[in-house]
Structure formats: structure tokens, C-alpha cells
Amino acid sequence: NAGVTQTPKFRILKIGQSMTLQCTQDMNHNYMYWYRQDPGMGLKLIYYSVGAGITDKGEVPNGYNVSRSTTEDFPLRLELAAPSQTSVYFCASSRGLAASYNEQFFGPGTRLTVL
């Protein structure tokens, strides 16, 4: 049981390049989330999904896109990388609102630098 896995661990992009951050969970969780964490800050929600085919914007969605075609996978797409997107990105999953114990489990993170 791997939990939440993310690839890649590190990436350097040039301004204007695009990339996809991968996230997979094997806990059969319904809900999945993408966060970014800037130095000295808490986590900010980018996008979230309550099930396959359903995605919604979080607090800081600009410059990002997501899709959720399966329960397991929730990739995050950066279309035109900007220096402001330099951050550490975390994917997380949870059982869902109906669950009585609903903590979010986090992946190991992707450290992205845009130069």
C-alpha cells in the first residue's frame, strides 16, 4: 500500500514551458487535492476533486489545470510556467465527506523551480 505517490520529485522549468505533475493514490479515496507551499507559508489549495470526472477550483487556481479521469489519478498541469509558480506542490487524498474520520493523506511533494 503505497498511499499517495507523486512524480517527479524535482523539476526545473524555463519560463513559458509546460509540464504535468503526476499524483496517484491506492487507498480508493474519493477526494483528491493539489496544494502549493511557498517558503514560510502554509499550504494553499489549487484544485480539488470529489470523484472521477469532477474537479473544482481552490484558492489559487490561476495558471493551473487538472483532470480526474480515474479514482486513482489526479494530474496537475502547468501550461505556461512563470517564476511565481516556483513552489513545492503536494497532492493529498481523503475518504470524503461521508466518512467519520476524514483526514487528508499527503504525497511526498514535487519541488518545482521556474527560471
Partner 1 sequence: EDKVVQSPLSLVVHEGDTVTLNCSYEVTNFRSLLWYKQEKKAPTFLFMLTSSGIEKKSGRLSSILDKKELFSILNITATQTGDSAVYLCAVELGEYGNKLVFGAGTILRVKS
Asked if 21 and 67 count as a contact pair (C-beta separation under 8 A), the reply is no
Task: Confirm or reject binding of residue 104 to partner 1 (CB under 8 A).
Answer: yes
| 85/93 with CB nearer partner 1 | 93
Task: Confirm or reject binding of residue 8 to partner 1 (CB under 8 A).
Answer: no
Cell 493539489 sits at which residue? Answer: 34
- Count of H helices and E strands in the chain? 0, 11
Among 7, 58, 61, 72, binds partner 1 (CB under 8 A): 58
Burial of 80 (0-12, 13-18, 19+ CB in 10 A): exposed
Q: Closest approach of Cβ 104 to partner 1, in Å?
A: 6
Task: Confirm or reject binding of residue 90 to partner 1 (CB under 8 A).
Answer: yes
Q: From the CB of residue 21, how many other CB atoms can be counted at a distance below 10 Å?
A: 23
Residues interacting with partner 1, by CB under 8 A?
A: 4, 31, 33, 40-45, 48, 50, 56, 58, 90, 94, 96-97, 101-109
